Amino acid sequence: MTDFRVLSDTVRVAPQIALSDMAEAAALGVRTVVSNRPDGEDPGQPTAAEVAAAAQAVGIAFVHAPVSGFPDEAAVAAVGEVLAAREPVLMFCRSGTRSAMVWALAMRQAGAEPEGLREAAAGAGYDLSRLPL
């Protein structure tokens, strides 16, 4: 079983997922997978195109919003658009930290309170105490 961590009632975050994890994501009701991982970051990681094909094969939408370092406006906007649908989402990157960061920034732009976002991330094992929300 993959390490899918819960950030909210509709958002899970994970370290790098395998293509075979899509069946589990679909069984959990995930409607969209968001990759916050740039292609080629590590040797052997699946490309965005490979993850998209695996997601689409089980009926899950795919969004590639890569983050290198601090999330940029484009990534936050793309994630915000996905989150606005209020459907089950799985976000991933190498460790899950960048996904938790971009989730928190998008939620903050939507009006969520910083401390609640930090607490949710901490509950999933991600320290966002230094993230400017």
Residue at 132 is within a domain: no
Residue at 105 is within a domain: yes
User: So what's the pLDDT on residue 24?
Assistant: 94
Residue at 87 is within a domain: yes
State which residues of the chain have pLDDT below 50.
Answer: none
User: So what's the pLDDT on residue 2?
Assistant: 77
Q: Domain residues for 58? A: 5-123
User: So what's the pLDDT on residue 7?
Assistant: 97
Residue at 130 is within a domain: no
User: So what's the pLDDT on residue 1?
Assistant: 53
**Residue 68 is part of a domain; what is its CATH number?**
3.90.190.10
Average pLDDT over all residues of the chain: 96
Per-residue pLDDT tens over the stretch 117-126: 999 999 999 9
Other Cβ atoms less than 10 A from the Cβ of 13: the count is 30
User: Which residues are CB-contacts of 112 (< 8 A; sequence separation ≥ 6)?
Assistant: none
> What CA–CA distances, in Å, run from 113 to 5, 33, 81, 97?
20, 24, 18, 19
Residue at 133 is within a domain: no
Residue at 44 is within a domain: yes
Residue at 107 is within a domain: yes
Number of domains comprising the chain: 1
Residue at 109 is within a domain: yes
CA gap 20, 40 in Å, rounded: 19
